[in-house]
Structure 1
């Protein structure tokens, strides 16, 4: 069946030169995401801090992952995401330093840095446990521009990605989300919740779901 939603946009592969636009889009999309509110509870400074964090992290994403995106008629990024292929290496200290992430404790405070590391390590340990050591396509930073949300663009682009990238390989796909509405969205695309434990640190917590989509038989 012809996907008219996708046909209204132009496919794009993002590069490091798109980092400013992509980081702005991610900041808008994740401003009220529970994990980021947990890390940056002050709403006044959160946007500026998130913008820096997203821009630095995107440098690592471009180095380790594979981007997918579509642009609208104005050449804005309308939707985007990254796949970390099965067997992707962990980000090395040299790579983190190259893109500025090791400056996090100096820019946002040592406690925020420590908390961020704990959150990342807890989530990643659970995701790997859910996969029982099996490599997977890890879906990261999947977002749709606010203008196009609720119109089926996200499901159209991800359905195509799953068909072309994941289902042609022997590996499953995995992802992490902190929003219940996203759980429903991804379940419609074949993902199943494999862990729904909240992330709790120092008496504070936020919801977290790990989801896995096995390759169709």
Structure 2
């Protein structure tokens, strides 16, 4: 074996080993800041690592749903193979899972996707505590759909909107200080919230922080790793636009656990007597990729 061939083989072996280490750390939620940056760098140049992680995360989600306990000890080196083998035997076949996982299922949305995306978010947030609190019950779903469409339009024009291939999941991010919506759009938002407009509050974001405006998956498509696909794609896209910090608010404790697995931490929380609880979270992204 020539020196050049040996060096190439050795480099490939080291890269493969490092990918396994990154996937294992991401799967357990124990990525350091340096590993987050390295993972995003790898994902941008080779999106298949996100697809591989999504496959593992999807299986772990299924285990959680079945209330199967897991150890917090380091991930065994053969865990990936065992999980993939088990999923292949008792889970949907590859074609039924839309083929290539998160890398192919998550993509940037265009204007033509916004109507379907609004329908998906309407289904996802139909029973969400905060939307139930701030939107009148009369024609609730129609109001919710219209509000989602208005906010998605703003995000698609000035930020980032990500959807899965068949638009079963949607994510929207806005950069710091986006333009104020046009007066006619603000009038529609006020009218749709009706007499509950005074319940609509939002904490002032940190200077320079991007904001994760929404993340929703249709109820029948939940538990398949789509949220993971959307988050990895969305955060990577934000990082390429210079985002160093992403903030969000959620009123569902299950979402808190989801976001914590993807690098977010709780910065504060409020539990008012007359409104749903709100957790404020942030994710400090690498400064460059």
Structure 1 length-normalised TM: 0.75
Deviations 1:128-163 (A, max 9, x none): 2xx3x3x12211221223232112221133134334
Q: 1:89 aligns with which of 169, 175, 178?
A: 178
> Which whole-Å CA distance do the structure 1 matches of 2:111 and 2:224 have between them?
28
The structure that is helix-richer by fraction is 2
Is residue 2:270 matched to residue 1:197? Answer: yes
> Which whole-Å CA distance do the structure 1 matches of 2:213 and 2:193 have between them?
23
Unaligned runs of 5+ in 2: 1-18, 20-48, 56-99
Q: CA shift at 1:164, angstroms?
A: 5.2
> Which whole-Å CA distance do the structure 1 matches of 2:262 and 2:270 have between them?
22
What residue is the counterpart of 1:80 in the other structure?
A: 170
Of the structure 1 ranges 183-192 and 13-22, higher mean CA displacement relative to structure 2 is found in 13-22
Is residue 2:203 matched to residue 1:124? Answer: yes
> Which whole-Å CA distance do the structure 2 matches of 1:213 and 1:166 have between them?
11
Q: CA shift at 1:113, angstroms?
A: 2.9
Is residue 2:198 matched to residue 1:114? Answer: yes
Unaligned runs of 5+ in 1: none
Distance 1:141 1:115, change over 3 A: same
- The 3-state SS of whatever aligns with 2:155 is helix
What residue is the counterpart of 2:239 in the other structure?
A: 166
Q: Do the aligned residues in 1 keep the contact of 2:133 with 2:199 (CA within 8 Å)? A: no
The structure that is strand-richer by fraction is 1
Structure 2 length-normalised TM: 0.58
Question: Which structure has the greater CA radius of gyration?
Answer: 2
Is residue 2:231 matched to residue 1:137? Answer: no
1:58-69 to 2 correspondence within 5 Å?
58-69=152-163
> Which whole-Å CA distance do the structure 1 matches of 2:149 and 2:140 have between them?
14
- The 3-state SS of whatever aligns with 2:270 is coil
Is residue 2:132 matched to residue 1:37? Answer: yes
What residue is the counterpart of 1:21 in the other structure?
A: 116
Distance 1:90 1:178, change over 3 A: farther
Q: Do the aligned residues in 2 keep the contact of 1:167 with 1:215 (CA within 8 Å)? A: no
> Which whole-Å CA distance do the structure 1 matches of 2:284 and 2:148 have between them?
29
Q: Do the aligned residues in 2 keep the contact of 1:196 with 1:207 (CA within 8 Å)? A: yes
Q: Do the aligned residues in 1 keep the contact of 2:111 with 2:153 (CA within 8 Å)? A: yes
Give the paired residue count: 192
> Which whole-Å CA distance do the structure 2 matches of 1:169 and 1:40 have between them?
34
- The 3-state SS of whatever aligns with 1:212 is strand
What residue is the counterpart of 1:213 in the other structure?
A: 283
